[in-house]
Structure 1
Amino acid sequence: MRTLKIACRIGLAAAALVLLAPTLAPDTARAELVVDVRGGQFQPMPIAVTDFAGEGNLGPEISGIVTSNLGRSGYFAPLARDRFPEAAPAFDAVPRFDAWRAAGVQGLVTGRVTRDGQGRLRTEFRLWDVTTGQQITGQQFFTDPNNWRRVGHIISDSVFTRITGLGGFFDTRIVFVDETGPKENRLKRLAIMDQDGANVRFLTPGDASVVTPRFSPRAQEIAFMAQTSGEQPRVQVLNLETGARQAVGNFPDMTSSPRFAPSGRAIVMALQQGGNANIYQIDLVSRTTTRLTSSVAIDTSPSFSPDGTQIVFESDRGGTQQLYVMNADGSDVRRISFGQGSYSQPAWSPRGDLIAFTRMSGGRFSIGVMRPDGSGERILTEGFHNEGPAWAPNGQYIVFFRDPGGQSGGQLYMVDITGRVEVQIPTPGFASDPTWSPLLSEVR
């Protein structure tokens, strides 16, 4: 057995993961349990997640998280418990595959929750291919009992990745702008929650109006724009561990639309000067400031390619808001959007293959994607007011907010890059400007 370690310092203890040796999982059997989502013509896989044995209600709670996560992904169709052909099989027993096949199930997840001698929670699971009767994978996790929800997300990621071949996205968090009060005078606070809407925590007290939060890809930090009454809006960075906030740069004018470089050591943002705005980069260690664009237009909303060599941004230099790509040093600027309407809020996929955007045309707002050269444009979802696309760390899903208008407010949704899956993400109230964290195991 080999050991994997996952650590996240956002109020969580480290969790050690130990892979169980597969009992009956030859490579020839593994290829059968697959959902091919890359072509967009997939059918959700029928799967069953049995109640994990042991520890009172904790086992069913963890398996319930796995069931919910897989169902919300849109790539799985979990079987309702009242249709299970047998009670949860003992963890060390072989399931009745003929009965599960008759119920239409292709994948089966079983598990067990116990405590070790040190009081740590030990959670084990197995993923079975019902068609072949083979175990596909199995793992066990040791962690503080308070981290039981996160264990459910990690198991979900393991099952999701093993079957789809995509990276996980359940063991993550979302930061968003929580909005309360009447529409003309809303209190806007930064909030953080698990990707499924649980464990909401407020990060700012509402002393300043906040917009466009962005996660650092490497550290426990959030960049965002804040405006206090009587002062210029400023880009700030919030440390999630200490709660400390500091302004980025010492500019006399408004700064906005921050985005971290892939290294996490620099930020690009827009600086407004008069009626124009240009893009600047600030090294967070040396505090060196570099101007990247020099136009008489409004250049804003920069976003790095994952390899750090290019930046996409929006500009009205051609008369309307369009998307442009340039090298990271500001050279070789070229326009990439040419469809009807205006384009804004570009976000480069973590996989590097797509750029997400908001498009406004005919009074409707759409969330779409295109390749970095502007080809292959596709609209994923549209409506009265859709804005603020941000990528999941696996580059397969996009979170955004939708505002129906009137005195109502925004709600968060996620859509996959095929456009076939669209799911609302619960929040305690109105919400806007979401940003998705990296996998918690990858954050220092």
Structure 2
Amino acid sequence: YEVIDIKSGRVIEGKQSLTADNNKESMRYAGHVIADKVYELITGIPGDFSGRIAYIEEIGTGKEKISRLKVMDADGENAKTITEVAGSIFSPTWSPDGNRIAYSVQRDKSYPVIYVQSVSGGGATPLTPFPGSNLSPSFSPDGSKILFSSSFEGSADIYEMSASGGTPRRITNWPSSEVQPNYAPDGKSFVFVSDRAGFNKPRIYRYEFGSGRTTQVSSSGYATSPQFSSDGSQIAFLSGRSAAIMNSGGAVTANLGNTGIDEAPSFSPNGKRVVYASKQGGKGVLTIKSLNGGESFGKSGQGTIRSPVWSASPK
């Protein structure tokens, strides 16, 4: 393939080639990778067509609930079930290389446990067999560590541990609840949620590894579920019951409104689009929305859809 500037007739970067296996899935993937390259050649910004989206599909309620962790292409095609459990799956997150997903599972009458699983198949490895609520894993930028929240030593605090397991290190130790950590892309800090300001007044804070300093990021109101964009300049979060985006200084830059599901949006790899779950006409819907043009498209599924999260484009 080649990209030609029509006005000048100049071929941008000459001919490019990409090989793929001769099957439908590989050819589709090659198409997405080429679209990424073409987009970058024209705009100078990496494309986000070859990243994948993980999400949870829930069917039934109470003891009858079945939850599936699914992965699909960024255009809504090729949906596959990675794992299925009797119970609930929470907060899936991708490893930086797009090969693994960490998530929490809560079965009937048991604590939530964080698992790590290869997207290409195989069993899930339990990471946090601790007697407490183990939730909201976040991979470090190099994929070697995981931040998570747990209440196994009392109130919920943020811990860091090796992504292959082992003994966790407690980072926060306030009397309030600290949850939902998310590493900054440079790995030097992370954002998290605390109710130290008062009951039902969650705020987003940033912890710096070097100094151990904590600062408040969100300005006021009810702010939860922070997630950085890949360049660290934006944070997607839940503002009250609305999906919203703020800059790294805490100023709200976009409000996507009430989606009917109290969850934050997730950025695409280049930060130009977001994906979020909503309910429309009793059906679960995944919506992908452009942040500059406002264009969006949706994909509906069975039951309730939750927690879509976009992987980085494979390197």
TM superposition score normalised by structure 1: 0.65
Is the radius of gyration larger for structure 1 or structure 2?
1
2:270 equivalent to 1:397: no
Q: In the alignment, residue 192 of structure 1 is paired with which amino acid?
A: V
Instruction: Name structure 2 gaps, 5 residues minimum.
Output: none
| Displacement of 1:355 | 1.4
For 1:290 and 1:264, how far apart are their aligned partners in 2?
17
The answer as to 2:79 corresponding to 1:200 is yes
Q: For 1:141, which of 18, 36, 55 is the aligned residue?
A: 18
From 21, 29, 38, give the equivalent of 1:150.
Answer: 29
> Are positions 1:411 and 2:285 aligned together?
yes
The 3-state SS of whatever aligns with 2:72 is strand
1:13-412 → structure 2 map (5 Å cutoff): 125-137=1-13, 138-146=15-23, 147-181=26-60, 186-218=65-97, 220-273=99-152, 276-285=155-164, 287-319=166-198, 320-328=201-209, 331-339=212-220, 341-360=221-240, 365-374=241-250, 376-385=251-260, 387-404=263-280, 408-412=282-286
Mapped to 1, the partners of 2:184 and 2:64 lie a distance apart of 36
Partner-residue secondary structure (3-state), 2:34:
helix
Displacement of 1:227 in angstroms is 1.0
Structure 1 residue aligned with 2:307, among 433, 437, 442? 433
8 Å CA contact 1:249, 1:282 repeated in 2: no
CA RMSD of superposed structures (Å): 2.3
Look up the SS of the partner of 1:426 in the other structure: strand
- On the 8 A contact 1:380/1:415 being kept in 2, the answer is no
The amino acid that maps onto 1:396 is: K
Q: Once the 2 structures are TM-superposed, how far is the Cα of residue 359 of structure 1 from its aligned partner?
A: 0.5
* Paired residue secondary structure (1:403): strand
Partners of 2:185 and 2:197 lie apart in 1 by 27
CA distance in 2: counterparts of 1:433 and 1:325, whole angstroms: 22
Moved more, 213-222 or 129-138: 129-138
The answer (yes or no) to whether the contact 1:169–1:392 under 8 Å persists in 2 is yes
> Is the 2:139–2:163 Cα contact (8 Å) retained in structure 1?
no
1:399 Cα deviation from its structure 2 partner? 1.5
Determine the C-alpha separation between the residues in 1 that align with 2:128 and 2:225.
22
Note the alpha carbon deviations across 1:272-313, whole angstroms, 9 max, x for none.
258731101111347231101111212111001111000101
Shift of 1:434: 0.8
Quick one: distance in 2 between partners of 1:184 and 1:208? 7
Report the number of matched residues: 308
Deviates further, 383-392 or 165-174: 383-392
Shift of 1:388: 3.1
8 Å CA contact 1:279–1:291 kept in 2: the answer is yes
SS at match of 1:150: helix
Residue 229 of structure 1 aligns to a residue whose secondary structure is coil
Are 2:301 and 1:421 aligned? no
Runs of 5+ unmatched residues, structure 1: 1-124
CA distance in 1, matches of 2:103, 2:270: 23
Contact 2:101/2:118, CA 8 A, preserved across alignment: yes
1:224/1:301 Cα in 2 relative to 1: closer, same or farther (>3 Å)? same
Change in 2 beyond 3 A, CA 1:422/1:269: farther
**CA drift at 1:208:** 3.6
Report the Cα distance in structure 2 between the residues aligned to 1:423 and 1:186, rounded to whole angstroms: 30
The answer to whether the Cα contact below 8 Å between 1:366 and 1:379 also exists between their aligned partners in 2 is: no
Post-superposition Cα deviations, 1:213-252, rounded to whole Å, max 9, x if no partner, equal: 0001136211101011121111111122342212213311
1:193 partner letter = M
**Aligned-residue offset at 1:393:** 1.6
The separation in 2 between residues aligned to 1:259 and 1:286, in whole angstroms, is: 14
User: Secondary structure of the residue that 1:311 maps to in structure 2?
Assistant: strand
